[in-house]
Amino acid sequence: MMLTAIGLMSGTSLDGVDVALIETDGRRVTAFGPSGYRPYTESERNLLRQALYEAVDLPQRNARPGCLREAESVVTSAHAEAVAAFVAQHRIAFSDIDIVGFHGQTVLHRPERRLTVQIGDATALAKAIHIPVMHDFRAADVEAGGQGAPFVPVYHRALAQSLQREGPIVVVNIGGVSNITYIDGDTLIACDTGPGNALLDDHMFRIMNQRFDGEGRTAAQGRVDAAWIARALKLPFFALPPPKSLDRNDFASLKLGDMSPADGAATLTAFTAAAIARIVPLLPKEPKSWVVAGGGARNLTMLRMLRECLAPAAVQAADTLGWASDSIEAQAFGFLAARGLKGLPLSYPTTTGVPIPMTGGVIARP
């Protein structure tokens, strides 16, 4: 049975809520609908930053001490507003949507403690938008001993299959954190690779009061400190084989030495590219082609550095294939919701390290 699903993603960059509509049977995407975006306001973003800070010592997934209760309510209302604006703009009737996939906002990810925390009240959202909402996608996986991330690989696989291209293909998503999906015939392997834009964004904000390095212009003017990158890549995470996953702030303690803002941006951009390339020797075969998605695909310096690190493999931005680069994660959570409804696996031993393929997600009804 075909389902019409809306996916909602609020990623580690804390920039806003992505919305996307797809039609799917949980295996293939039969139609791509429109996508939308509801940015967080400055004060909402500050509250979310504070929530990440206060979540560091959370004992369990339902605890909401300090500002977390308020942050949760802000996340819920931002998502309700995002859906309301989206359906109004595209004249979609609530009754035409079968399911909403609601990721929520990750505030802490500690799979080694069997803990991953996404805030957002799915019951309140379902009541506000009058549509059943699937949420808590990562919980069952982590409880079963999986990494609980990344979860987009089943969706990357569906997109890559439609290319009918010879493998291995890798889809890399550069958001706050970077993750890859390796697809070669029936082989599906995934993991987080290291930083995405989070370190660079934090640097740009601290030093230049800008939210990000637009098109990679600042990094393009700087010099890369290769010795700093070589030292950073010695951290044990980078030598671990997939599956593996990260919290947004896992590398936040890495400090640049005394360097200019542009050299800092160049070094952090090159670090993201080098960390992505570092996964290649840990994969079964060298990938033939790479597709780059997420906000990092708009950073031209990042793309240039990735091409240098991954040569001779082909490196292409997802947009050039007609994929909606900025909406892939939102589409993925619509797809995952459809798979959850049908009891299909969301994660596998080779994507999250879960002992057996696992379905997941919990439904909240209006």
Ligand X SMILES: CC(=O)N[C@H]1[C@@H]2OC[C@@H](O2)[C@@H](O)[C@@H]1O[C@H](C)C(=O)O
- Residues placed in the known binding site for ATP: 11-18
Rule CB under 6 A: say whether 329 interacts with ligand X: yes
Picking from 6, 80, 72, 4, the residue whose alpha carbon sits closest to that of residue 38 is 80
Question: Which residue number, 216 or 341, has a Cβ lying nearer to ligand ATP?
Answer: 216
x/- track of binding to ligand X for residues 25-44 (CB under 6 A): --------------------
Question: Which residue number, 33 or 176, has a Cβ lying nearer to ligand X?
Answer: 176
Interface pick for ligand ATP out of 3, 8, 12, 315 (rule CB under 6 A): 12
Beta bridge partners of 190: 181
108-127 binders of ligand X (CB under 6 A): 109, 116
How many residues sit in the footprint of ligand X (CB under 6 A)? 17
Cβ burial, residue 104 (10 Å; 0-12/13-18/19+): buried
Q: Which stretch binds ligand X (CB under 6 A): 163-171, 174-182, 202-210, 342-350?
A: 174-182
Question: Which residue number, 15 or 263, has a Cβ lying nearer to ligand ATP?
Answer: 15
Rule CB under 6 A: say whether 295 interacts with ligand X: no
Rule CB under 6 A: say whether 245 interacts with ligand X: yes
Quickly count helices (H) and strands (E) in the chain. Answer: 11, 12
User: Rounded to whole angstroms, what are the CA distances from 304 to 179, 219, 297, 301, 320?
Assistant: 18, 11, 10, 5, 15
Angle formed by the axes of helices 300-310 and 261-277, to 10°? 40
Rule CB under 6 A: say whether 106 interacts with ligand X: yes
Q: What is the DSSP letter of 361?
A: -
In the bound complex, which residue of the shown chain has the CB atom lying closest to ligand X? Answer: 150
Minimum Å distance from CB 192 to ligand ATP?
A: 9
Interface pick for ligand X out of 14, 134, 140, 152 (rule CB under 6 A): 152
Measure the CA–CA gap between 163 and 160, rounded to whole angstroms. 5
CA 30 to chain CA mean position, Å: 23
Minimum Å distance from CB 70 to ligand X?
A: 20
Q: Pseudo-torsion of CA 351, 353, 358, 363, nearest 10°? A: -80
Residue stretches of the annotated binding site? 11-18
Q: Which stretch binds ligand X (CB under 6 A): 62-70, 121-129, 150-158, 318-326?
A: 150-158
Q: Which stretch binds ligand ATP (CB under 6 A): 71-79, 135-143, 155-163, 171-179?
A: 171-179
3-class state of residue 270 by DSSP: helix
Measure the CA–CA gap between 177 and 182, rounded to whole angstroms. 17
Rule CB under 6 A: say whether 195 interacts with ligand ATP: no
Q: Are 246 and 178 in contact (CB under 8 A)?
A: no
Interface pick for ligand X out of 5, 19, 134, 149 (rule CB under 6 A): 149
User: Rounded to whole angstroms, what are the CA distances from 65 to 58, 71, 345?
Assistant: 8, 10, 33
Rule CB under 6 A: say whether 150 interacts with ligand X: yes
Hey, what amino acid is at 272? T
Other C-beta atoms closer than 10 Å to the C-beta of 261 total: 19
Beta bridge partners of 102: 8
Question: Which residue number, 11 or 361, has a Cβ lying nearer to ligand X?
Answer: 11
x/- track of binding to ligand ATP for residues 272-311 (CB under 6 A): ----------------------xxx-xx------------
Residue 105 touches which of ligand X, ligand ATP, none (CB < 5 to 8 A by kind)? none
Residues that bind ligand X (CB under 6 A): 11-12, 106, 109, 116, 149-152, 175-177, 179, 192, 245-246, 329
Residues that bind ligand ATP (CB under 6 A): 11-13, 15, 173, 175-177, 196-197, 201, 212-216, 294-296, 298-299, 329
